Homo-oligomer: A and B are copies of this chain.
Amino acid sequence: MGHASLRRANLATVLRHLRDEGSCSRSDIADATGLHRATVSSLMAELLDRGLVREVGIEYVGAVGRPRRAVALDGSHVGVLGTEINVDYAALYGTDLGGRVLVDRRVGMDAMGMGPDRAIKELGRVARNAIEELVRAGATPAGVGVAVPGLVDVVRGAVAFAPNLGWRDVALTVRLRAEIGHVRVPVMADNDANLAALAEYTGGIAAGTPDMVYLTGEVGVGGGIVVAGRLLRGADGFSGEVGHMPVDPTGSRCGCGRTGCWETKVGLAALVRSATPELAYGLGGAPSPDPEERVTQIARGLAEGDPRAHAAVAEVGRWLGLGGSILVNLFNPSVIVLGGYFAKLAERLIPPAQAELERLVIAGPAARCRFVASALGFGAASRGAASMVADQVINDPAAIGSAPIAATAPTLAGQ
């Protein structure tokens, strides 16, 4: 490791230590990290200068009240913006680095109908507004994250394929950065399920659970997988494609063209088809203009004791358990967090899913895994996008205010 990259790594080590341990003295940090005290002092000067750390004055520690000059993570002047683009909405979630929430909203937007050009232009417009709000609140944006329901090439910031948006090979981050324009911020993108999993891991119902799976429940079903406290990405960033596991060779045709994908058993279209066939999706599997309305209708059917709704939800629950058993056999997570429509119908879906899971997992009760409903609602992915940016800042604080945060994030010439 060269001297410059060593210094960057050491800056990150100090900042992570402050994030995890709270306020500390310089000598505490030297002891805990094994870095020389003079090195810690020099690193600290840079972090103070960048507004990432502040002096918190003299603290008295221990029985004898030994005084020390402590420092703490600050970050109130640094903003991060997470966004999500989905079939019929965009979501925005902005915070400062200390976690203060400054923007949190969802705007209706027919992203699928618009096509990528208009959708990116529109996302750029709402992101620009959110950035101005961050700036007005005193938090200069350090980056923008975008969650996308599809296969994202994280290194190039490109969407390889997003079937439900109808996108293929879209250079998302480069184009969004051009739309955002005059504000010089790096843009990074990732899959929506990955980012929702990150949000759950960071501050949701499964916070801090090192081995967990998050499932999106929409027309499509995606998975975000956390292994030993880290998001699983795979060789090309295309991990967690749970919706297209082949689970039934004699099953029905999936939107992707294959047969018997898990999505055809547990996706929203499958549920609507059997619970309320008179309202069902077209044979092509096109999503309804208002999927939430369908879920509300099914929930009403369940409340009113409609036997068809009960049977349909029980059947989806069983298939949820079967696919869940594959995830448990392979990953052995302690929790599977259910997002999207799964969370809305969790009370009725979880009992049959949990029973089927326990019947099918080979390690049986030894591999305890529970289905739980997400409490983050539709904001999970945009929150995760904000977390991704915050992690980047912590892991490379030297990049703030100079170059784009991620070495891999594309920049546009002439800006």
Q: Which positions in A face B, CB cutoff 8 Å?
A: 1, 3, 6, 9-10, 31-32, 34-36, 39, 151, 153, 160-161, 210-211, 223, 225, 227-228, 230, 232-250, 256, 258, 322, 325-327, 329-334, 359-360, 362-364, 366-369
Contact = CB atoms under 8 A, between A and B. Distances in A.
Contact of A236 (B39, B233, B367): B367
Contact of A239 (B239, B246, B332): B332
Given A227-B232, A246-B247, A331 B362 contact: no
A366 B332 contact: no
A364 B258 CA distance: 12
Contacts of A232: 227-228, 331
Nearest to A231: B228
Contacts of A246: 247, 322, 325-326, 360
**Most chain B CB inside 10 Å of its own CB: which residue of A233, A258, A326, A334:** A326
Contacts of A367: 234-236, 238
A60 to B, nearest CB: 22
A330 B225 contact: yes
B234 A211 contact: yes
A160 B364 CA distance: 10
Nearest to A254: B362
B235 A161 contact: no
Nearest to A367: B238
A238 B367 CA distance: 7
Contact of A244 (B160, B240, B258, B329): B329
A332 B360 CA distance: 24
A333 B235 contact: yes
B151 A241 contact: no
Contacts of A244: 329, 360, 362
A239 B330 contact: yes
B161 A366 contact: yes
A161 B11 CA distance: 46
B366 A245 contact: no
Given A235-B211, A333-B235, A151 B326 contact: no
